[in-house]
Amino acid sequence: MLIMPVHRALFDSRPDINCEFLGPAVSDATDLTTYTFTAQKFGRPHSARHLIVAYHAEDALATFTLSSMTITPTGQTAIGTTSATATGAAPTIKAGLRYARVPVGWSGDVSLTFDEAITSCGIAIYALYGIPSYRIFGNLLQPAIQTGGVAADNTAFALNSYGPAVVICAATVDASGDRCTYTGVDEMYDQDIGAEAGMAGGFRKYTSTGGISTTADFVTGTTVEARTAVFY
């Protein structure tokens, strides 16, 4: 009789989820194969801390690939979404999200290596607490490449079965000076990353049941690449 309530509580309860944007977002436009962003804020160290890195990239070539992303001081290789290539008039752009469990360090470096030198690259970092490793990236939404300035996820993700969740978005546009309006998340950054591209992103914590859908609207951009991830 004494064991049953405890047993039930262990299986019914869900830990709270905390997410923190560790901005500002940073970018570099020096035509490199490997971009290393040093002394980035990682937030409060914790044994179960995951860092989510939104990355943005552009180049004049038709295709390029992010070969690896490494987060130090742990030397952890970040894994996550595979970003398709969006090709407008110019340049080719990418947006993606990668994550790694990084329990130590208040700050560190993030290195991105591409298969060739690209024009520019930018990142934004989030610290995520309260989600076990086996449930990270439990659901991933990857909107199709959109033209006309809007990238949207048209399929809502139902929270009813999962409880609290965090949604993180990243979008890149092939137009500098353009600005993004997000729905479904709270915008955390919105800036240029080079002569011909801009980036924007944000997150929102959800605690109620229902569905999630997101839209990234760059008002004048011709091509947008967007990625959305749900962590629960």
What DSSP assignment string belongs to 55-104?
EEEEESSS---EEEEEEETTTEEPEEPPPPPEE-SS-EEEEEEEEEE--S
Residue 126 lies in a domain: yes
CA-based torsion, 138, 25, 202, 180: positive or negative: negative
Place of tokens 């830990």: 15
**Neighbouring C-beta atoms of residue 120, cutoff 10 Å:** 25
Residue 11 lies in a domain: no
**Neighbouring C-beta atoms of residue 10, cutoff 10 Å:** 8
Residue 188: the pLDDT is 96
Closest CA to 83 of 114, 40, 109: 114
For residue 143, report the phi and psi dihedrals to the nearest 5 degrees.
Answer: -60, 150
Residue 224: the pLDDT is 75
Range of the domain at 191: 16-231
How many structural domains are present in the chain?
A: 1
Residue 1 lies in a domain: no
Residue 80: the pLDDT is 64
pTM: 0.84
pLDDT by 10s per residue, the chain, length 232: 443 333 322 233 455 788 999 999 999 999 999 999 999 999 999 988 889 999 999 988 767 888 899 998 876 777 765 454 554 445 688 888 888 888 899 999 999 999 999 999 999 999 999 876 545 444 444 443 444 444 444 455 666 555 677 888 888 888 888 888 888 889 999 999 987 889 999 998 887 666 677 777 787 666 777 777 777 7
Residue 28 lies in a domain: yes
Residue 125 lies in a domain: yes
Residue 55 lies in a domain: yes
Judged on CB neighbours under 10 Å (0-12, 13-18, 19+), 56 is buried
**Mapping DSSP to helix (H, G, I), strand (E, B) and coil, where does residue 4 land?**
helix
Closest CA to 51 of 76, 27, 81: 76
Rounded CA gap, 1 and 207, in Å?
Answer: 32
Place of tokens 């560790």: 22
Residue 3 lies in a domain: no
